Homo-oligomer: A and B are copies of this chain.
Amino acid sequence: MHRPVPDHRGPELPELLSEIVPGLKKIFQTTRGEIVLFPVSGTGGLESSIVNTLSAGDLVLAFNIGHFSHAYAETARSFGMQVDEVELPWGQGVPADLVHDRLIRDTARNYKAILVVHNETSTGVTSDVRAVREAINAAHHPALLLVDTVSSLASIEFLFDEWSVDVAVTGTQKGLMLPPGMAVVCAGPRAIAASGQVNTPRFFFDWRPVLDEMKRGYFPFTPATLMLYGLREAVRMLLEEGLPAVFGRHRKLAEGVRRAVRAWNLPILCRNAAEYSNSLTAVELPEGIDADKVLQLAQEELNLSLGGGLGQLKGRVIRIGHLGALNELEVLAMIAGTEMALQMVGIRIVPGMGVQACEEWFMQEHLAGRRVGSSR
């Protein structure tokens, strides 16, 4: 991305898009979805999924299972949709049976869409989108399935076609390993059809002119041109490593982090092992400990960036991210830094305990021939 800015009406653009668009489709694992790119961070892309598929007054089913799940619901609410937002304890995923339950009772077919955050990054929980789809199917319900894949795409398996997702949205700064600044939308045929029918006002986020211009390799606005070069490179790297290898790497690194957390004797916020996130682990701290103090010490004393609790979890958890271009030694350094910062606030941890547990797991995987290697 370190290069002169190209003319966004020049010949470089179609060339870039001709490689980026098919590459992104492979990453979304879709042939029926269309790619829409916006020069905006992920939140903007999510807004586009609402304003293009729903009209004011439409009923939407959402689940408040974390900060980003709630924000997605809020987005819809802001545009006048009626949001049936089921309140649940933070730390679990979207319950597919509850989805089924609601839809079955909706005999009038009022729900127009279901909002799911695939990987809720405020709690470290991955919802089972496949199960949600099956619940919808079982209920024979026509609601659209809109999925926030900001912190899952290119880290955790996501199958746009197989799960009949209608819209999936991601940003560039997570699994795509780039700076923030571009939203990547994958829109299926029913969602695109909706964009021509709904009456929600929109201009910048209107998919239609973008889809139109992108067919010719251009955009109806000034795109984040340098980002496109980075995006092409990211797509190349991911497809070269191979999606199964990318997912496997995240799975193994995440398990290493979880083993360290267990060695510290601290609870993982996500209670259900089947819903553990492979891109982020949220760790609950003991009563009386200010989690934000851990963050501050990690930053100031060790130059380590950890995530803090958002919303109702503020001050109560630390969040350890483990997605993107990451390898085992980087995870071990992060674990070491985290356990040092935890000790600094007075949590009793035998120095090295977490690293030891993590390293042992990585060695075990190596001996079993499951090499994680480096993503770089």
Evaluate contact between B41 and A305: CB separation under 8 angstroms.
no
Q: Tell me whether B336 and A363 are in contact (CB under 8 A).
A: no
Q: How far is the CA of A338 from the CA of B307 in the complex (A)?
A: 28
- In the assembled complex, the Cα of A356 lies from the Cα of B263 at a distance in Å of 13
Residue interface bits A175-201, CB-to-B below 8 A is 1, else 0: 000011100000000000000000011
Q: How far is the CB of A376 from chain B (nearest CB, A)?
A: 7
- Residues of chain B with a CB closer than 8 A to A333's CB: 329-330, 332-333, 336
Contacts of A22 on B, CB cut-off 8 Å? none
Segment 323-355 of A: residues with Cβ below 8 Å from B: 327-330, 332-334, 336-337, 339-340, 343-344, 350-353, 355
Given contacts A307-B9, A329-B302, whether A352 and B343 have CB atoms under 8 Å apart is no
Specify how many copies of this chain sit in the oligomer: 4
Q: CB of A7 within 8 A of chain B?
A: yes
**A366 interface residue per 8 A CB criterion:** yes
Contact check, B366 vs A221: say whether CB atoms are below 8 A apart.
no
A residues whose Cβ falls under 8 Å from a Cβ of B:
2, 5, 7-11, 38-44, 47, 50, 56, 74-75, 78-80, 171, 173, 179-181, 200-204, 206, 220-227, 299, 301-305, 307-308, 327-330, 332-334, 336-337, 339-340, 343-344, 350-353, 355-360, 362-363, 366, 371, 373-374, 376
